[in-house]
Amino acid sequence: MITIIRHKQFSQSSFYKLFFIRAVADILSLVPNSLGILLPAFFGQQLLPIYSTVPNWAIVLLTFLLKTLVFQVSNIVTILILLNRFTAIAFPFRHKMLWKKHFWHLVVFLLFVPMLITVPIMRMRTTIIFYDSNSFLLDDKEPGRPNLRTMSFTKAVSSSIFLLLALLLNISTLIAYKRSKKAALNSQNAATQSSQFIW
C-alpha cells in the first residue's frame, strides 16, 4: 500500500488502485474479527462491562455488518482485478481508456452492491454467550430476525457466484493470452521470412 501511495506511476494504474482497495478491505476485516471473536475470547472478563453498555446497533455495525460488507467487497474487487487483467490482455489498446472512463462507476458499484446484501444485518439483535467465566462470544439468537445462519447462506451463495466468475475470467484470460502470443509469434515468423526472402 505504501509503495502504491508513494509512487505516482502505480497510483495512476487501475490495477494498482483496485489492489489498494483490496488491501484496505483486508485491513478492515481485522476490526470485526478482533472485536467479535479475539478480544472477547482472550479478555472476556475485563471487556464484559464495556460490551454490556455498548448499544446493539454499534456491536452489529462493528462486528457482523462490517465483516459481511468487507467479505463481499473483497470478492467483488478480486473479480474486478481479474477483469482488469483480462482486458489488459484481450484489448491492450483500449484497456487504459476503458478503465480510466469507467473506474469510478465500478467503485460506486463496488460499494453499493454489498450494502444491498448487508442491510438486513442491521435488524439483528446480538446476544452474549458465555463459554466460561473468562470468555464470551457475540451471537444472534432472537427469532424472527435475520440471523447468522441466513447471513452464512448469503455468503455461501455469493462465494459460489464469485468462484464461478473467477474461474470463467481466468479461463478467458488464459485463452486471450494464448491467442495474443500466437498472433505475435505469427507476425514475428512473417517478419523473419520476409527478411530471409530479401537476403
At 147-195, the pLDDT tens digits run: 666 677 777 888 899 999 999 999 998 998 888 877 665 555 545 444 5
Phi, psi for residue 181 in degrees, rounded to 5: -65, -40
CATH number of 2-191: 1.20.1070.10
Taking the CA of residue 36 as centre, how many other CA atoms within 13 Å lie in the half-sphere pointing to its CB? 22
* End-to-end Cα spacing for the chain: 53
For range 34-60, the mean pLDDT: 77
- The residue-averaged pLDDT of 72-82 equals 91
Predicted confidence (pLDDT) per residue in 82-91, tens digit: 999 999 888 8
Domain residue spans in the chain?
2-191
Per-residue pLDDT, 165: 93
CA distances for 153 relative to 33, 156, 157, angstroms: 19, 5, 6
Q: Which of 184 and 71 is assigned the larger pLDDT?
A: 71
- CA nearest to 117, candidates 141, 91, 151: 151
